[in-house]
Structure 1
Amino acid sequence: MSLNRRQILSSLAALGAASAAPGLVAQGAWPSKPIRIILPYTVGGSADALARGIAEHLRSVLGQPVIVESRPGANSALGAELVAKSPADGYTLLYLGYPTISTNLVVYKDVRYKLEDFQPITTTFRSPVSLTVKRDFPANNLKELMDLARKQGSLSYGTSGNGSSPHLLMEKIKADTGIRFEHIPYKGENPAVLDVLGGHLPLFAGSIATPQQHVRSGALKVIATSSAERLPSFPDVPTFREAGFPEHVFTYWHGFAAPAGTPRPIIDRLHAAIVAAMSTQPVRNVLGPDQIATAMSPEAFTEQIRKDIALWTPVIRASRIE
């Protein structure tokens, strides 16, 4: 759900209650030392900016330094493994991207952790996949894109890499429609967008935030987004649902998790603080135009991850993504 005033007030109340919880006192009045947020991505990206904004808010409400530590590699698996093996004491948290403890468990054969190694805390935002093409591309909506791909026999598209959320969604569309789409993985979204801009790649599947400068200038156009409703920042861009593909409505999430076994009073306090952080202006300033602040309870977040694993496992195996 999107954050609203009632949810924010409820989280602030929970934060105060958790602060006084007897369990926390028994554990030495957590927190009594610095907290680490393991960021399984490189420094300088949108995830880094969001993690640091949330860390600053946590520092102010928890009264201890909160350090963001970048540990990129293996599509976020290296950072996740570090957290999975950390003590369950509330001092090591994982900034959680969508693939980390859902699709990575299927895509990578040698992942050294499982969902049960973590206690999900909350989502922070959800974001759809958008399809972007050059201004003069001979399709203006998803239906026309499908017709063009069918007529040509196949259509190439670029994403930020194998097993990414856009890759999985396009493979699902391919499987459901029988239309051939050829995946070209890039090392990040920017190189793919530049190839679309230069006419070397027909289609980019990914965040609308990356190409937005070129979209607003008119050099590129977004022909569809997988959100349930049109994005407020791009009200002229139709959704997959509007184009007749309601089964492909999809948004990926980011969030936070702790090692499994972290005491519930600590999880509750972290949940309340992170949800409250998402309502602050400094954090909202770093959200992209397609990133909608959301929050889930630890239980709902865990169930969502289980549903994601069930959804994508057959797609990954049928497409032989690894």
Structure 2
Amino acid sequence: MTLDRRTFTHALALGSLAGPLSSRAQAAYPSKPVRIICPFAPGGGSDFIARVAATRLAERLGQPVVVENRPGAGGTLGSELGVKAAPDGYTLLLVAGSYTVNPALYKLSFDPVADITPVIQLSRGAYVLCVNAKLPVKTLQELLALARKDPGKLTFASSGPGGHLHVVTEYLLDMAKVKATHIPYKGTGPAINDLLAGNVDMLFGGTEGMMQHVKSGKLRALAVGTAKRLPAYPDIPSVAESGLPDYDVVAWHGLVAPKGLPPAVLARLNADLNAVLKAKDMEDRLEPTGVGAAGGTPEQFGALIQAEIVRYGKVIRDAGIRAE
């Protein structure tokens, strides 16, 4: 009886300590390097955002934050690796708009909503619709009128079939009730090169890659995809004010973690990243490219992901888009 009583008392003591021990373990976060999985190749816009965030976050956490590029299958390979990692805060996944189109294109091995913990939206940017400067149009209305005269004659480039650029362009064409022929490329770089050469007529691309060619006079910017004009480029109208008032497409990036991330770790990451995004040097780094810092709560970012999965799923089904 004495042994049983002692055992019982010892068990109670251990139980009472479990909570404080767990809290202390979470409070010690991070005690080792953190990695951010970027499911795209080095050198692109997603890689740029991941590395800027990693550098600033490392300063806040006091631990190295390493970017690990895992490209392939439209970002699904790296996403699977990130989502299925241990939910301890030491593996984060960079996600972009493509994360919300992939559920309608691929048979995923994870639930893109239920299997993640949204952490924060990092950036809010825009795509700009550009045409080769030799194309005889100066506004979006003129481009759409030209497309209506000869359905399917005009061509549009994308970074690949089923990619975010493909989907948002089809979204615009469907809303405008016009037809154009899709010419897919293996990445945004080759698509821009062929647009510059005049081999395709138009491309919806990120401002960071397109505006240098607009400034040189080789491309003409017709509209930005966000609902309002960009402060960095106030002379370029939005698609919404150019006749399609319901069109609003944001080129965004954010961080998620696997499902089950401890609340204390989530709160630490969200607070530190919000502080990073509000810093003046971050604004100075992003604004010249037409990209703005976002921030906000995990709940806000989760709502964005869910809403865009629904929206782009419909666009993909209506347009019959398939990944290749």
TM-score normalised by structure 1 residue count: 0.88
Q: Note closer, same or farther for the CA distance 1:22–1:130 as it changes in structure 2 (3 Å cut).
A: farther
Match of 1:80 in 2: 79
Q: Return 280-289 or 58-67, whichever deviates more.
A: 280-289
Q: Distance in 2 between matches of 1:130 and 1:300?
A: 25
Match of 1:296 in 2: 296
2:26–2:264 contact (8 Å) kept in structure 1: no
1:199 Cα shift?
A: 1.2
Post-superposition CA distance 1:127-171 (Å, at most 9, x none): 222111122211111111100000122221001122233322221
Aligned: 1:35 with 2:34: yes
State the percentage of identical aligned residues.
37
Aligned: 1:98 with 2:61: no
How do 1:73-222 residues align onto structure 2 when only pairs under 5 Å count?
73-100=72-99, 102-108=100-106, 110-114=107-111, 115-154=113-152, 155-222=154-221
Post-superposition CA distance 1:167-198 (Å, at most 9, x none): 22221233233310221111111211111111
Q: Note closer, same or farther for the CA distance 1:200–1:297 as it changes in structure 2 (3 Å cut).
A: same
Which one-letter code corresponds to 2:296 in the other structure? M
Aligned: 1:313 with 2:321: no
Which one-letter code corresponds to 1:248 in the other structure? Y
Q: Distance in 1 between matches of 2:316 and 2:21?
A: 45
Q: Note closer, same or farther for the CA distance 1:52–1:282 as it changes in structure 2 (3 Å cut).
A: farther
Q: Does the residue aligned with 2:51 lie in a helix, a strand or coil?
A: helix
1:165–1:252 contact (8 Å) kept in structure 2: no
1:296 Cα shift?
A: 2.6
Q: Distance in 2 between matches of 1:62 and 1:178?
A: 50
Structure 1 consecutive aligned stretches of length 4 or more whose deviation exceeds 3 Å: 21-24, 279-286
Match of 2:259 in 1: 260
1:210 Cα shift?
A: 1.0
2:283–2:292 contact (8 Å) kept in structure 1: no
Which one-letter code corresponds to 2:80 in the other structure? E
1:280 Cα shift?
A: 3.7
2:133–2:217 contact (8 Å) kept in structure 1: yes
Q: Return 88-97 or 159-168, whichever deviates more.
A: 159-168
Q: Note closer, same or farther for the CA distance 1:304–1:280 as it changes in structure 2 (3 Å cut).
A: same
TM-score normalised by structure 2 residue count: 0.87
1:23 Cα shift?
A: 6.0
1:54–1:283 contact (8 Å) kept in structure 2: no
Q: Distance in 2 between matches of 1:145 and 1:225?
A: 14
Post-superposition CA distance 1:83-119 (Å, at most 9, x none): 111111111000111122x2111111x2211121110
Aligned: 1:223 with 2:252: no
Q: Return 43-52 or 209-218, whichever deviates more.
A: 43-52
Q: Does the residue aligned with 2:241 lie in a helix, a strand or coil?
A: coil
Q: Distance in 2 between matches of 1:203 and 1:53?
A: 30
Match of 1:243 in 2: 242
Q: Does the residue aligned with 2:233 lie in a helix, a strand or coil?
A: coil
Match of 1:3 in 2: none
Q: Does the residue aligned with 2:63 lie in a helix, a strand or coil?
A: coil
Q: Distance in 2 between matches of 1:118 and 1:260?
A: 4
Post-superposition CA distance 1:203-247 (Å, at most 9, x none): 111112212222111121101111122112222111112211111
Post-superposition CA distance 1:30-86 (Å, at most 9, x none): 111111111111112232232222212222221212111111111111111011111
Q: Note closer, same or farther for the CA distance 1:281–1:161 as it changes in structure 2 (3 Å cut).
A: farther
1:286 Cα shift?
A: 4.5
The runs of 5 or more residues in structure 2 that have no matched partner are: 1-19
- Larger Rg over CA atoms: 2
Q: Return 23-32 or 214-223, whichever deviates more.
A: 23-32
1:52–1:68 contact (8 Å) kept in structure 2: yes
Which one-letter code corresponds to 2:145 in the other structure? D
Q: Of Structure 1 and Structure 2, which has the larger fraction of its residues in helix?
A: 2
The runs of 5 or more residues in structure 1 that have no matched partner are: 1-20
Q: Distance in 2 between matches of 1:315 and 1:99?
A: 13
